[in-house]
């Protein structure tokens, strides 16, 4: 590993690139822009990145009109968010990957980022369920890859898991831990075990609720209402729609596989059908509930 000087993040000088402008990437970029970092947001789909930036700008405009932020603050933030394509990614101190949850696609991206940065950058993955160790093992500098797991919506959720794979250098994990604190979030160091901490603990919230509905013990609306009335911010079905039914399903499937078929983590057929039907939640306009149709691509 190269020296540790380059692990110090200075908002004035450091450049951060977030790759993937979907549900999570757009939110993570927003967090860094507000924390003072020049942030490049990139997606394989130009339409997706354009849409993410437009939605973000509209929200800033509304917040400025309501007096939640000043007009000059909004203008400053807008200047700090830059967009790029995978071909025009800049050299950055930190790359945060928030692309599709497919190991080989992520590994290929990290290989390219490593080449681009000449082994000098930290590579962070926002994966929910893939082993950080496995994502790193094809790299020349596996010690520079670390898990940096934000929760949805990234701007509002304070917790960020910092995950060390087998090869992650302790200074890399520590510098990401410090950075998370510096941007006003709450980091927690976790080991590279299936589901890390939060997704493992949270699994029964989804799997038991899905079983209740499959067994016709209660409707999904009843389950959501009941849990919301007991203090949960969102019932499991509303939450799965926010997370992405497909993303949530792939996390459960991954845990089930990585715990060698442990019945506690068995994925639901009801959820599998939703995924197969393309009913992925808010982002597709239909999930367990119906939403306003998303803008056409
Ligand atoms: P998403 O499906 O909303 O967005 C993924 C984006 O990645 C898409 O816009 C796609 O065009 C882009 N993409 C795919 N391959 C690419 C490539 N090679 N280069 C550049 N862009 C590429 O997915 P979402 O929900 O934002 O998830 C992203 C990552 O974050 C996944 O690893 C997921 O497990 C994780 N995550 C998701 C959470 C959620 O609530 N949705 C919560 C925490 C983590």
Question: Are 137 and 107 spatial neighbours (Cβ–Cβ below 8 Å)?
Answer: no
- Work out the pLDDT band at 120, boundaries 50, 70, 90: confident
Ligand 1 pocket: which of 27, 41, 98 to mutate (most atoms <8 Å of CB)? 98
Average pLDDT, the chain: 94
The structure tokens listed for 148 are 């940096």
Catalytic residue among 199, 209, 248, 268: 199
Q: Output the pLDDT for position 204.
A: 95
What is the distance between the alpha carbons of residues 283 and 151, in angstroms, rounded to a whole number?
16
Tell me if 120 CB under 6 Å of ligand 1: no
- Is pLDDT at 109 greater than 70 in this prediction? yes
- Work out the pLDDT band at 216, boundaries 50, 70, 90: very high
Catalytic residue among 161, 209, 254, 280: 161
pTM here?
0.92
What is the distance between the alpha carbons of residues 214 and 204, in angstroms, rounded to a whole number?
15
- Is pLDDT at 1 greater than 80 in this prediction? no
- Work out the pLDDT band at 33, boundaries 50, 70, 90: very high
Whether 97 sits among the annotated catalytic residues: the reply is: no
- Is pLDDT at 69 greater than 90 in this prediction? yes
User: Which tens digit of pLDDT belongs to each residue from 121-144?
Assistant: 999 999 998 999 999 999 999 999
Catalytic residue among 14, 126, 128, 129: 128
Tell me if 109 CB under 6 Å of ligand 1: yes
Number of the ligand 1 atom closest to the C-alpha atom of 99: 7
User: Which tens digit of pLDDT belongs to each residue from 96-107?
Assistant: 999 999 999 999
Tell me if 48 CB under 6 Å of ligand 1: yes
Cis peptide before 153, with omega less than 30 degrees from 0? yes
Q: Output the pLDDT for position 12.
A: 82
What is the distance between the alpha carbons of residues 124 and 139, in angstroms, rounded to a whole number?
13
Ligand 1 pocket: which of 20, 152, 249 to mutate (most atoms <8 Å of CB)? 20
Whether 126 sits among the annotated catalytic residues: the reply is: no
Whether 149 sits among the annotated catalytic residues: the reply is: yes
Question: Separation of 217 CA from ligand 1 center, angstroms?
Answer: 34
Question: Separation of 147 CA from ligand 1 center, angstroms?
Answer: 14
Tell me if 23 CB under 6 Å of ligand 1: yes
Taking CB atoms within 8 Å and a gap of at least 24, the contacts of 142-147 are 142/167, 142/168, 143/1, 143/167, 143/168, 143/169, 143/172, 144/1, 144/114, 144/119, 144/169, 144/172, 145/110, 145/172, 146/122, 146/172, 146/173, 146/176, 147/190, 147/192, 147/196
- Is pLDDT at 11 greater than 80 in this prediction? yes
The structure tokens listed for 232 are 């949960």
CATH architecture of 200-284: Orthogonal Bundle (1.10)
Number of the ligand 1 atom closest to the C-alpha atom of 150: 43
CATH class of this structure's domain 5-191: alpha beta
Tell me if 45 CB under 6 Å of ligand 1: yes
Q: Output the pLDDT for position 9.
A: 86
- Is pLDDT at 4 greater than 80 in this prediction? no
- Work out the pLDDT band at 13, boundaries 50, 70, 90: confident
Question: Separation of 97 CA from ligand 1 center, angstroms?
Answer: 8
Domain with CATH 3.40.50.720 in the chain: 5-191
Q: Output the pLDDT for position 6.
A: 61
Domain with CATH 1.10.1040.50 in the chain: 200-284
Tell me if 53 CB under 6 Å of ligand 1: no
Ligand 1 pocket: which of 24, 30, 127 to mutate (most atoms <8 Å of CB)? 24
Q: Output the pLDDT for position 297.
A: 47
Percent of the chain with pLDDT over 90: 92
Mean pLDDT of 180-196: 96
What is the β-pairing status of strands 15-19 and 94-97? parallel
């Amino acid at each position: 590993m190269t020296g540790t000087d380059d692990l110090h993040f200075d908002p004035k000088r450091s450049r951060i690139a977030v790759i993937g402008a979907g549900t999570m990437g757009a939110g993570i970029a927003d967090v860094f822009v507000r924390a003072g970092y020049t942030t490049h947001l990139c997606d394989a789909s130009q339409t997706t990145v354009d849409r993410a930036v437009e939605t973000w700008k509209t929200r800033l405009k509304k917040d400025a009109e309501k007096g939640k932020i000043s007009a000059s603050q909004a203008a400053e933030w807008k200047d700090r968010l830059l967009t790029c394509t995978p071909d025009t990614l800049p050299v950055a101190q930190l790359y945060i990957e928030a692309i599709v949850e497919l190991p080989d696609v992520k590994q290929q991206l990290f290989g390219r980022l490593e080449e681009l940065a000449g082994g000098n950058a930290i590579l962070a993955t926002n994966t929910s369920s893939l082993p950080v160790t496995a994502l790193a093992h094809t790299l020349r500098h596996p010690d520079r890859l670390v898990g940096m797991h934000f929760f949805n919506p990234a701007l509002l959720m304070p917790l960020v898991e910092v995950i060390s794979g087998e090869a992650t250098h302790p200074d890399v994990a520590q510098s990401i831990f410090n950075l998370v604190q510096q941007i006003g979030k709450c980091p927690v160091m976790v080991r590279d075990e299936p589901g890390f901490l939060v997704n493992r603990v949270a699994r029964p919230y989804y799997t038991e609720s899905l079983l209740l509905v499959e067994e016709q013990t209660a409707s999904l609306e009843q389950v959501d209402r009941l849990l919301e009335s007991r203090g949960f911010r969102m019932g499991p079905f509303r939450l799965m729609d926010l997370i992405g039914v497909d993303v949530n399903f792939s996390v459960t499937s991954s845990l089930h596989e990585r715990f060698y078929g442990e019945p506690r983590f068995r994925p639901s057929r009801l959820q599998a059908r939703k995924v197969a039907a393309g009913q992925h939640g808010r982002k597709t306009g239909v999930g367990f509930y119906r939403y306003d149709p998303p803008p056409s691509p």
